[in-house]
């Protein structure tokens, strides 16, 4: 089974074809196709590692939805100093279904 390591929003994800992955927010409309940067690509026989990207490699996906993740709580506390601080935020994400992993010449 082919897989790829992609980069989006400063983070890296291991993806396979048909998988739905939550990436940091991408400025693309729902239903549009996006191409993602491929850092490594492999299958059962071999692996290609780029520096920083694999030349000629391509991962394309379809934007399924935009949303917000679960709330993350940030709590700061210093004992015996009467100091407490509570913050929270929800990270925006884009759900992308991986359509194909291949090379740019595999388009046809």
Give Cβ neighbours of residue 55 (< 8 Å, ≥ 6 apart): none
Domain with 28, as residue range(s), is 3-107
Q: Find the mean pLDDT for residues 46-53.
A: 86
Domain count, the chain: 1
Q: Rounded distance, CA 78 to CA 17, Å?
A: 47
Residue with tokens 């996006």: 34
Which of 27, 14, 103 lies closest to 60, judged by CA?
103
Report the predicted TM-score, pTM, of the whole model to 2 decimal places: 0.80
**Using 50, 70 and 90 to split pLDDT, how confident is the model at 77?**
very high
């Amino acid at each position: 089974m082919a897989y790829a390591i992609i980069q989006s929003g400063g983070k890296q994800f291991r993806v396979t074809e048909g998988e739905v992955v939550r990436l940091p927010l991408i400025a693309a409309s729902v239903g549009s196709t996006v191409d993602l940067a491929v850092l490594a690509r492999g299958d059962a026989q071999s692996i290609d590692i780029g520096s920083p990207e694999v030349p000629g490699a391509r991962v394309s996906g379809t934007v399924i939805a935009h949303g917000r993740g679960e709330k993350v709580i940030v709590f700061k506390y210093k004992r015996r100093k009467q100091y407490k601080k509570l913050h929270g935020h929800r990270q925006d994400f884009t759900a992308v279904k991986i359509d194909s992993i291949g090379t740019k010449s595999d388009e046809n």
